[in-house]
Amino acid sequence: MKKILVIEDDKTLQDAIKNVVSTEEDFEVIQSFDGPSGFKKIKEEKPDIILLDLMLPKEDGYHMLYKLNEDKTTKKIPVIILTAIDSETSDIECKNFGAVEYLVKSDISILDIMKKIKEHLNVND
């Protein structure tokens, strides 16, 4: 079973993602609502993919992405940025730090997020 870690401070969005992801596929969804607990869960759970918000309490997503990219045990985990920040500069910065996707929340549906997760986990329909 694939593990997906969702690090997002919006509980409503978290729950919506969890419902779709766990219904669509046999994926285990792990939830975290801030940077430090997210990083702890990465180390403990060893997820197959991470959905990461950039604006988080305690430690922002940029800093987390940088730490993930610097650590050889976490560098290979695909990270999909899921943010409200619609900025080309932010997109480029995140991809330079290893993000595989940069998705703007207002431009994408939960089903589109699911497609991106499956694409990066090489899971076919």
| pLDDT of 124 over the 80 cut | no
What superfamily does domain 2-120 belong to in CATH?
A: Response regulator (3.40.50.2300)
pLDDT of residue 125: 56
Residue 90: band (very low, low, confident or very high) from pLDDT cuts 50, 70, 90: very high
- pLDDT (tens digit per residue) in 62-78: 999 999 999 999 999 99
Helix pair angle (61-70, 35-45), 10° resolution: 30
